[in-house]
Structure 1
Amino acid sequence: MNARSGDLSVRPLEDRDKYTLSRWLSDPEVLAFYEGRDRPFSQQMVEEKFFSDRGVTGCLVEYEGNEVGYLQYYQLDHETMIRYGYTNLDEVIYGTDQFIGETAYWNKGVGTQLIRAVVEYLLQKEGVHRLVMDPMTWNTRAIRCYEKCGYSKARILQEHELHEGEYHDSWLMEFIPE
């Protein structure tokens, strides 16, 4: 993905980004919302999770020329679609996961700008019927951001994500183009 929106740009991950990801994913403030404070990432973990071929496109987010976050997107497979409650397996559904790794950029609208740019980019892909994401129900800041960008809560995914030793419910949130 190469997307721009004002001062924000999203580009494919490059090998040099593993150092930035390692820094973000060992920061307890970031881990409180993404992956969990009980799972700080080593360099090897970053390479295995973010730089292996796993059907996910990983991207680095820059704002005003500064590296500020991570985004990944992927087409949902049939197993995931069924688990999420979708019955029309002919639909093309993309999911995203993202975080702002530079905490100085939290609460400044960067996440909203990112989600809007990603929605625009992914909807230009031919045949996309809807976009989804699955924030944990307690992550109210992220949920508000997603709702500002046109996502709506579709249903609760019970005990969906293991975070800091406990399974937490997540919202399945959808963006359905008009």
Structure 2
Amino acid sequence: MKGRLRVRKLMEEDKSVLVDWLSNPAILEFYEGRDNPFNLEKVNKKFYNRKDKVNRCIVEYEGVRIGYIQFYPINHHTSNITNDSNADVVFGMDQFIGETMYWNKGIGTALIQKMVDYLIDKKNVDRIIMDPQTTNKRALTCYEKCGFKKVRILPGHELHEGKYRDCWLIEYDTRNG
């Protein structure tokens, strides 16, 4: 399955598909919030012409754009989760499959495994972290299948649909993985 997946840099022509995905309540349930749909202006502001270290990418499966993934070094500019060990190379990731017909087919698991391999091989990471909401069972199951471990609860970590939600800090430690 990994061979049928392609991750490429976000391009201008991807704006409309991001608007479609980020105005879909099924996607927004765990990513940004159903009370926070995106339009073109919001997509431009959040995903384009940013001067940060976030690598924003589109996920393609068999040539079809199906999702979004971003990865970035953890520092005070890219995350509110601090790198507690300055000696470690730590990256964060966020992603979603925007085409719901591709859910529950193992594609998300293949994507996470592919990105973990890339970050280890090309970025020499020591650890990869993510912070999914504690109620996002499908995502947590996927991440745990890929070798991520729950580290601790981040209480009230994310403002989502008008409430501060608890999230799990999860990590893939390449020294133990």
Identity %: 51
Within 1, Cα distance between the matches of 2:134 and 2:54? 24
Task: Provide runs of 4+ in structure 1 moved above 2 Å.
Answer: 78-81, 83-87
Q: Give the TM-score normalised by the residue count of structure 1.
A: 0.92
Deviation at 1:125, TM superposition (A): 2.8
What does residue 60 of structure 1 align with?
58
Q: Give the TM-score normalised by the residue count of structure 2.
A: 0.93
Secondary structure in structure 1 of the residue aligned to 2:12:
coil
Number of equivalenced pairs: 174
Deviation at 1:171, TM superposition (A): 0.4
Q: Indicate if the aligned counterparts of 2:76 and 2:82 stay in contact, CA closer than 8 A.
A: no
What does residue 120 of structure 2 align with?
123
Deviation at 1:99, TM superposition (A): 0.2
Please list every run of 5 or more consecutive structure 2 residues that lacks an aligned counterpart in the other structure: none
Match of 1:150 among 147, 152, 159: 147
Deviation at 1:126, TM superposition (A): 4.4
- CA offsets, 1:61-120, max 9 Å, x none? 011111100000000005778x64643222110000000000001111110010000000
What does residue 140 of structure 1 align with?
137
Please list every run of 5 or more consecutive structure 1 residues that lacks an aligned counterpart in the other structure: none
Matches within 5 A, 1:32-51: 32-51=29-48
Q: Indicate if the aligned counterparts of 2:75 and 2:82 stay in contact, CA closer than 8 A.
A: no
- CA offsets, 1:117-172, max 9 Å, x none? 00000011344110000000000100000000010001111111111000001000
